[in-house]
Structure 1
Amino acid sequence: MTITRRDFLNGTALTIAAGLAPTSVLRAAEAQGPAYPPALTGLRGNHPGTFTLAHSLAREGAKYPGVLARESYDLVVVGGGIGGLAAAWFYQQRFGGNARILILDNHDDFGGHAKRNEFTVRGRTLVTYGGSAEMPPSANDNAAVRALLAGLDLAPRIQARPGDDYARRGLGRAVFFDAEHFGRDQWLAGDPFAALVDARNAGVRPAPEDLGAFLNAAPLPPADRQALQRLAQGETDYLSGMAGEARARYAQSTRYAVFLREKAGLGLPGLRFLRSRSQDAYALDADGITVAQAISIGLPAGAGMAAPAIDPRLGKSPASRLWFPDGNATLARALASKLVPGVAAAQGQEIVGARFDYSKLDREGNPVRIRLNSTAIAIEPDVRITRVTYGWQGNLQRVEAAHVVVAGYDMMVPFILPSLPVPAKAALRACVKAPLVYTKVALDNWRAFDALKTWRIHAPTMAYSDLWLESAPGGKDDPVVLHMLYVPTVPDSGMSARERFRAGRAFLLGTPFEVLERDIRAQLDRMLAAGGFKSARDIQGITVNRWAHGYSYMPSGLAPDDANLQVALEQAGRGVGNIRIAGADTAGSPSVTAAIEQSMRAVGSLNPKT
């Protein structure tokens, strides 16, 4: 499922709800709120209906009629992710717990990217994350995060890494080479290159001799084996004679794939072996990140280069850790239960296991109401009030508010808030999110993995490039969740990150669940056949968390126009009147820390009500 230039050209022609009249678009976007969304399987994340209205505005230029306002609030929050929920909580802290707040979200569940997935296998409930999962190491040092955690009575309980549990059972890593890119299908136990990256991030000396034995068995030509071994040893200065300042500029402005090809001497097979090592952190392959970005997550670049130093803007990095079993969905659930008392049977640390009553999220008389399946299409500031129009239950609705915080996808803001200054619109339109897929597979057991003595597999050029078993509660005969990472890329294209993201997004939105499921089963059957795996027998459920708008855009040295983007985003975040723009996009960071911090800033800058 790696996409090509042709896919990109075809994808850009994809139109959602093309030719439909506005009333038809509203009906197409209508969704019925399920009783308990986390337990739904199939296509989740940006599920059907979430983007219909938004695409009608941004792609089709649809015009919707005005309607009369029926409700009024102190605050309307556009976006029910962690940023939006946190904005409502910070608003209560500043303006009082009786403030009337309406939170609008276009999905059938709250939490934004911080979604919770649940499976029931043989009477056991398996809980996992469907999106935003880990916390950066700097989270505890962030004032906004500390204030929020204290208010929610939550303390970080860092989870053990999945591999720790399996390592005690004798399981390790593995790499799967596919015939389409390496000449033959080959399974190799171990992944010493991953161990090398881990060692670099830990500041310890790796063991390159392990990599040498691995490479000698890999389906790679001798020249690439030697080049990879030399790169891993880290003793070659590939930029010899280049002064420090010029060296830094090179690292900040050169694609890692170009460096590997032109300086490290890797051929196409060697490049393919390293291509997807950066996808989990950046949602970009080696051709889409700079040398400096590669170094920051532990990838080697030879002698004379800076040591790995994790960029605090990253949402997921080698230093990030899982705080809760369902990832950052616990934060979203804790916020929802605090904002809407009675929606959950427990609060604080017990929120992880609490059952939620979604019918109580939007009840008349509650100070805070969370209205799902609601897409904002217009925000109109006036002298003292702001009017927000949104689609809900097949109709247009309008509310009035003293304050508005927009905590959704920044790129959509210019379409729903056209009164923004032109420079602000340009900055927000530049925030093209990275697409990615977190697929969760509920397995009846993990006997095949035990037979292969592996818990994590790297498949450099297959659709799902990284797969790993989540922590096992019991033995190999017990149910478990398999995490699968898919990032649609346009490899070796030289495209900008924004072009890649747009192509990947179009490809994802144009691929039905049936095709995604077929390819998931086919890849697992192919990779795990030697362990006796059979998808028809062993898979008990599949949830495809499709994030067409996933990681927030991070400014890069590969895009010269990004030099002043962060300053422009900070200015755009000021909004107009009593409207503020928040969310992780405005921080140029996919980190949950950034989302919370932006919400605190936005609420703190609002003018008092008049």
Structure 2
Amino acid sequence: MNDNELGMGAKITRRDFLDGVAVAALAGVASGLPGCSPQSTTPLRGPAAIDYPPATTGLWGQDNSSYAVMHKIRDGAFWATAPVAAAGREHYDLVIVGGGLSGLASAYFYRQARPNARILILETRRDFGGHAGRNEFNVNGRLLLSNAGTQSMESPAEYRPSAARLVRELGIDVSRFYHYFQQHRYDGLSTGIFFNRKTFGRDYFVAGAYTRPWSDIFAGAPLSPDAKADLIRIHTKEIDYLPELSPAERIAYLKTISYSTFITKHARCNAGVLPYLQDRPYDLFGTGIEAVSAFDCFNAGDDYGMEYPGFQGMDLGLGKGKWRREKPEPYIFHFPDGNASIARMLVRSLVPGSIPGSTMEDIVLAPCDYRKLDDPDNQVRIRLNATTVKVVHDADPSRATGIQLTYATPHGLQGVSAATCILACWHVVSRLIAPELPPGQKEQLAYCVKEPYVYTHVALDNWRAFKKLGVYQILAPTSYHYFTMLDYPVDMGGYQSPASPDDPMILFMLRAPTKYGLPPKEQYRAGRWELFRTPFFEIERNIRQQLGAMLGSAGFDPARDIAAITVNRWSHGYAYEYDKTLWEHWAPGQRPCDLAKRPFGRISIANSDSSGAAFTDTAIDEGYRAVGEVLRFG
């Protein structure tokens, strides 16, 4: 299909976010500073100002000024041309760098301990919440909500006391999600598999994975006879591929080989099966099966129900026939906008008058008055569009009485002082903006290389094609977006998720940019570079081509049926996780993140990077720990 047939020129709502910021808006912070003006001469289309970030509209391009400030600091070029910072007349008990969940939780815990404290949160984006962002759509007069990043509370029964207490005190009763999450909405629909022409030779779609016999699923697939036979075998036969080893020995060995090696060397599969399985770890690990250990694949499983075949005949400490460790709770603890509702509830508790209401239900549709966030009359202030560039003590850290901070705005550099500071930003940023940190600690902070992801949301006029095909989610090996699903069906607080196939619907499409064959960190760096340089129209074309190929047989027309597209590019996405057993082995308490988060003088470090786990509860826990550290200073 050509661009016209795909609908590339259609008048729809298009939104492009890079690490939570509309890409045109990113240039605004940089352009007000010398040496950081936009490099592109192509005009950016979209509104000049953002009044309500979750519903920002416009087709906005991307230029290299998006990260100019921090990249110039990284390269040692920022301060040579930076203007003199305006004298800071504001003083706070605590300044928090980063308005994501960890930063907001830090403010929450600190205020509990010091009810009269003055707190300032500096957030580089034009919205709060960090990865816990909110996407809003209006399709034919109907409001549709989805998460820009952080999806759900995973296994809240296992939360540590600090995170569990915060969730409870905000008024979140997780048991109510058993009623709000419509677990039977998609009954009768299954998982589809799409084989694309570029990799497999022809486009082929089949429904019924995990419900129909695997021999039926692979019968018409564009695979060699040997590959088909091997895939059917590893999905259906209970074979122990390491019979000479004990369960403990199997586990130890599977930690040393990739899943790809396990499948080809031990399960003796034809190499033709690998493209089908290649993308399976993307949603959790951000790399393919060549870079994830076989044990990690078995142990982690997949949040979307896609299992790793080949283990069902092996006892890996759970008994024969167990495909993976069972999760203690279903994956249903999901607000319509994901964990953005948790961020919004935190803001509501911190900033009077910002968001009305008092319950976990009314937060869903409650409007946020962004003008209230930085009200000078508030004890807690949230200052958006403020990129912190320097954090130093006012004297030698051993005898300092406070912290001096400098931050960039579209109008230049500003200063502010505080008794203490929590860096709730990415580790890689903390090492750049806190020059006093010991070199060894900076090295540990630099070790964290975050996993890049693309969370794409496509609003459709209807989802009849999915109903006709009999699927609610689609696995698309080696396609641009490897996974597509109908959005989570959650009805709460007056919000009604789409129930009829004739209703407008949001599709979630997931991409993990990777570079096959490299170690995980190098894949993440390569993927991040891809996200920086890929223009929106290229992503949109891939979306339209893929949806047309997958759904076209059921009457889907990408030029007619797409109402809006929002692309959330998380170039710095998930926190780096240190349990990649194929690559790393650390003694307890000696992971780089454990050493990197040590307090330095009046500066403490939070963020999920400090835990080595990309979860909401760990972000909260790290904020709680950091608050305990700065409270030592009164």
TM-score, normalised by the number of residues in structure 2: 0.84
Aligned to 1:112: 130
| 8 A Cα contact 1:557 1:563, kept in partner | no
Q: Tell whether the 8 Å contact from 1:44 to 1:543 is kept in structure 2 after alignment.
A: no
* Aligned mate of 2:169, from 145, 151, 159: 151
Counterpart check, 1:55 vs 2:66: no
Q: What is the match of residue 260 of structure 2?
A: 257
Question: Map of 1:288-437 to 2, 5 A cutoff?
Answer: 288-296=291-299, 297=301, 298-302=307-311, 303-307=314-318, 319-349=330-360, 350-382=362-394, 383-437=400-454
- Counterpart among 481, 484, 492 of residue 467 in structure 1: 484
1:280 to 280, 283, 286: 283
CA contact (8 A) 1:437 1:544 kept: yes
The corresponding residue for 2:186 is 166
**Mean CA deviation greater in 353-362 or 41-50:** 41-50
Over 3 Å counting, the alpha-carbon distance change for 1:342 and 1:46 in structure 2 is farther
Task: Give me the whole-angstrom Cα distance separating, in 2, the residues matched to 1:395 and 1:174.
Answer: 52
Q: 1:43 to 1:558 in 2, by over 3 A?
A: farther
Q: Which residue of 2 aligns with 1:38?
A: 54
Distance in 1 separating the partners of 2:589 and 2:59: 34
Given the superposition, is the C-alpha separation of residues 565 and 490 from structure 1 closer, same or farther in structure 2, using an over 3 Å criterion?
Answer: farther
Task: Quote the Cα distance in structure 1 between the aligned partners of 2:326 and 2:112.
Answer: 31
**Identity score, percent:** 37
Output one character per residue of 1:411-443: Cα deviation in whole Å (capped at 9) or x when no partner: 121111122223321221111000001111111
Match of 2:620 in 1: 596
2:61–2:535 CA contact under 8 A, matched in 1: no
Per mean C-alpha deviation after superposition, the further-off stretch among 411-420 and 157-166 is 157-166
Counterparts of 2:62 and 2:114, CA distance in 1 = 33
Could you say if the C-alpha distance between residues 379 and 43 of structure 1 is closer, same or farther in structure 2, counting changes exceeding 3 Å?
farther
SS in 1 for 2:573: strand
Checking the alignment, whether the CA contact within 8 Å between 1:340 and 1:361 is kept in structure 2 is yes
For residues 364 and 52 of structure 2, the distance between their equivalents in structure 1, rounded to whole angstroms, comes to: 15
Q: How far is the alpha carbon of 1:486 from its aligned partner?
A: 0.9
Matches within 5 A, 1:504-543: 504-543=527-566
Q: Compute the displacement of 1:76 (Å).
A: 0.7
Kindly provide the CA deviation profile for residues 544-595 of structure 1, in whole angstroms up to 9, marking residues without a partner as x: 0110011111112222365678544223212211111111111000011100
Query: Which deviations, in whole Å up to 9, do the C-alpha atoms of 1:300-346 show, x marking residues without a partner?
Result: 3432334456599xxxx995433311110000000111111101122
Please say if residues 422 and 606 of structure 2, whose CA atoms lie closer than 8 Å, have aligned partners that are also in contact: yes
What is the distance in 2 between the residues matched to 1:401 and 1:44? 37
Specify the code of the residue in structure 2 equivalent to 1:252: K
Question: How big is the shift at 1:366?
Answer: 1.3
What secondary structure does 2:213 align onto? helix
- Residues 136-285 of structure 1: pairs in structure 2 closer than 5 A: 136-139=154-157, 141-156=159-174, 157-158=176-177, 164-167=184-187, 170-192=188-210, 210-233=213-236, 235-285=238-288
Q: Secondary structure at the match of 1:441?
A: strand
SS at match of 2:484: strand
Query: Matched residues in 2 for 1:347 and 1:393: separation?
Result: 35
Structure 2 CA distance for aligned equivalents of residues 561 and 305 of structure 1: 20
Separation (CA, whole Å) in 2 of partners of 1:416 and 1:286: 36
Q: Which amino acid in the other structure matches residue 185 of structure 2? A: D
Instruction: Name whichever structure is richer in helix by fraction.
Output: 1
Letter in 1 for 2:72: S
**Residues 118-158 of structure 1: CA deviation (Å, up to 9, x unaligned):** 10111110111110011121455421122212321222232
Matched, 1:73 2:99: no
Q: Distance in 1 between matches of 2:190 and 2:247?
A: 39
Offset of 1:259 from its aligned partner? 1.5
The equivalent residue for 1:92 is 111
Question: 1:189-219 deviations in whole A, cap 9, x for unaligned?
Answer: 1112xx6xxxxxxxxxxxxx81122122222
Aligned match of 1:12:
none
Q: Partners in 2 of 1:217 and 1:609 — Cα distance?
A: 68
- Point out where structure 2 has 5 or more consecutive residues left out of the alignment: 1-25, 302-306, 395-399, 490-496
How many residues align? The count is: 569
Check the 8 A contact 1:574/1:602 in 2, yes or no.
Answer: no
Q: Is the 8 A contact 2:247 2:316 kept in 1?
A: no
User: Residue deviations 1:357-413, cap 9 Å, x none?
Assistant: 111111222111111111111110230111111111231111111111111111121
Q: Cα offset for 1:245?
A: 4.6
Please give the alpha-carbon distance, in whole angstroms, between the structure 1 residues aligned to 2:234 and 2:277. 11
CA contact (8 A) 2:277 2:289 kept: yes
Is the 8 Å Cα contact of residues 155 and 329 (structure 2) preserved in structure 1? no
d(CA) in 1 for partners of 2:157, 2:447: 26
Read off the aligned partner of 1:278 and give its amino acid letter. P
Match of 1:479 in 2: 504
Aligned-partner residue type, residue 23 of structure 1: L
In 1, Cα distance between equivalents of 2:446 and 2:440: 10
2:601 to 569, 577, 580: 577
CA deviation profile, 1:236-269 (whole Å, cap 9, x unmatched): 2222323555432221121111211222223333
In the superposition, the TM-score normalised over structure 1's length comes to 0.87
> Offset at 1:74?
0.8
- Per-residue deviation, 1:47: 10
Q: Measure, in 2, the Cα distance between the counterparts of 1:301 and 1:374.
A: 50
Structure 1, unmatched stretches of 5+, are 1-15, 196-208
8 Å CA contact 1:45–1:113 kept in 2: the answer is: no
SS at match of 1:549: strand
Partner of 1:83: 102
The reply on whether 1:24 has 2:34 as its aligned counterpart is: yes
Contact 1:189-1:454 within 8 A present in 2 as well: yes
Q: SS of 1:250's equivalent?
A: helix
Label 1:356 to 1:130 Cα distance change in 2 as closer, same or farther (>3 A).
Answer: same
Q: Secondary structure at the match of 2:34?
A: helix
* Superposed CA RMSD: 2.8
The 3 A distance-change label for structure 1 pair 357 and 164 is same
SS in 2 for 1:348: coil
CA-CA distance at 1:62 after TM superposition: 2.4
- Going from structure 1 to structure 2, the CA distance change for 1:161 and 1:265 (only over 3 Å counts) comes to farther
Q: Match of 2:192, SS?
A: strand
CA distance in structure 2 between the aligned counterparts of 1:76 and 1:579, rounded to whole angstroms: 10
C-alpha separation between the residues in 1 aligned to 2:59 and 2:282?
22
- Distance in structure 2 (CA, Å) of the matches to 1:26 and 1:322: 42
2:336 counterpart letter in structure 1: P
Say which is worse superposed, 557-566 or 578-587, in terms of deviation. Answer: 557-566
Tell me which amino acid in the other structure corresponds to 2:278.
R
CA shift for structure 1 position 451: 2.0
| CA distance in structure 1 between the partners assigned to 2:326 and 2:91 by the alignment | 42
